Amino acid sequence: MALYLIGDVQGCDSALQRLLNKISFSPSRDTLYMLGDLVNRGPDSAAVLRRLMGYGASAQCLLGNHDLHLLAAAEGARKPSRKDTLANVLQAPDREALLHWLRQQRLAIYLEHQKKQYLMVHAGVLPAWTAIQTIALASEVEQLLKSPELPDFLHQMYANQPNAWDARLRGTERLRLIVNALTRLRFCTAQGEMEFETSDGADSAPTGFMPWFDVPGRQTADVTVAFGHWSTLGWLNRPDVLALDSGCVWGGCLSALKLGAQASQHELIQVTCEQAQKPGK
């Protein structure tokens, strides 16, 4: 049995197929942990969703900002932009089945493997949150995703405030902050104030900000946090963080990390991707 962490697919089903062929993936034997942004910008989001649905429990999937964007577009809470490629889901004959499956997926996953602890999210974790707290906060949103209240929240989801955690937050503001941290975070201050405008590499932090994983005293430093979302960061391999968005949709690579018993035994497997989008276009 092998466990694989896979970065942002973003609708690039042919690249995913080639990667799965390269690792000789067997759903009866292996497990995929998909780190979010399953859909959008690439050419065939519907095929990606159908493929992962078909793998059942062998594909454990996180939701990223693009996956939530699809749910928002389906509810009329967000108009698709000119760069979006969601039509083949929104107009699919099995649209409702695809969207229902998406609503059952997670925002954070905690995994113990070979006596090592892994926390998986799409984007990042606020420095004040422990791994256990992150899972608990993610579950608040996961329950909402499955509830009749989801459409109302999706109409209120898009805003950058509040941008710092406060345990006293309630209602929409609390849920919005959790979503923004887990699916959009790149940079924050030492106090955990989030910044959402900068999407360049780790060395492009605005004054007073830093990559979320470099905040001193971060409460998840005792586990390995695996994430995607940050294509300009690329592959990052540290004992405390694994970054796996290698820019497939932009013509980079699609990456899978086969987990070993020790960090030195992890194996990175990549396939090159056809460019589906041009940056800045």
For 16-28, the pLDDT digits (tens) are 999 999 999 999 9
Reported as a pLDDT band with limits 50, 70 and 90, residue 280 is low
The total of other beta-carbon atoms located within 10 Å of residue 80's CB is 15
**How do residues 37-67 score in pLDDT, each as one tens digit?**
999 999 999 999 999 999 999 999 999 999 9
Closest CA to 72 of 33, 39, 35: 39
The residue among 173 and 261 whose pLDDT is bigger is 173
**How do residues 184-204 score in pLDDT, each as one tens digit?**
999 999 999 999 999 899 999
**How do residues 99-110 score in pLDDT, each as one tens digit?**
999 999 999 999
Closest CA to 72 of 147, 145, 162, 139: 145
Output helix, strand, coil percentages for the chain, rounded to the nearest 5.
35, 20, 50
How far is it, in rounded angstroms, from Cα 142 to Cα 129?
A: 18
Residue 281: the pLDDT is 43
pLDDT at 225 over 90: yes
pLDDT at 81 over 90: no
In what side-by-side order are the strands of the sheet with 3-6?
Answer: 59-61, 31-34, 3-6, 253-258, 267-272
